[in-house]
Amino acid sequence: MRTPKLIPLAALLLAAAAVTAACGESPAKKAARDHARRSSCVAAELALTAKERLARLDTQLVVVQGGPFEQVTAASRAFAAAYQEYADAYSRSADLADSAVYARGSQDSVRFAQQAGASRPTIPPAGTVPGNAAARFTGDMEEAMANPDHPCNRPEEGKEDG
């Protein structure tokens, strides 16, 4: 006589599975996708800003060559170059992590995740120009990710809940 009680339970479980499938992905997977998308976006933006800053400093270095501000500008350019190098590497890694969570197949997802981990830049020693640039980049990433008004933190078009 236990069988009749299992049928409603099985039907309930099947209905719950159907509702879950119809509603889409799990909240954890949705959060992971959102974080990967936002990280990739912010990192790409910081890398582009770093490239533009380095280009301005390259121009400025030529202008001040032989003048009293040459050393200061050269030091600023060295920091900007280290920042750009770290930002570019981090951005490539973030792009791969984003691809991993959006991959259709599990094999592709694993492959992209492994590539993202392998390409994540190592943090240079603190107190060095590259180390200071990496620390500054990390702070800039954290600040941008925590800013609700940052363009990369807005929900994707057509993907909002509701």
* Inter-residue long-range contacts of 80-83, CB under 8 Å, 24+ positions, other chains counted: 80/50, 80/53, 80/54, 81/54, 82/124, 82/129, 82/130, 82/132, 82/133, 82/134, 83/50, 83/53, 83/133, 83/136, 83/137
pLDDT of residue 3: 33
Which carries the bigger pLDDT value, residue 103 or residue 7? 103
Task: Report yes or no: 109 and 100 within 8 Å, Cβ to Cβ.
Answer: yes
**Gap between the terminal Cα atoms of the chain:** 44
pLDDT band at residue 155 using 50, 70 and 90 as cut-offs: confident
Q: Supply 122's token pair.
A: 């190592």
Which of 14-28, 37-51, 144-158 tops mean pLDDT?
A: 37-51
Conformational region of residue 24, where left means phi above 0, alpha means psi within -120 to 50, and beta covers everything else: left
All residues at 6 or more sequence positions from 25 whose CB lies less than 8 Å from its CB, including other chains: 33
Instruction: Assess whether pLDDT exceeds 50 at residue 2.
Output: no
Note the pTM of the prediction, 2 decimals: 0.79
pLDDT of residue 18 exceeding 60: no
Q: Quick: pLDDT tens for 42-78.
A: 999 999 999 999 999 999 999 999 999 999 999 999 9
Q: How confident is the model at residue 24 (pLDDT cuts 50, 70, 90)?
A: low
Region 79-106 average pLDDT: 94
Which two tokens mark 33?
A: 């996708």
Structural tokens at position 105: 């197949």
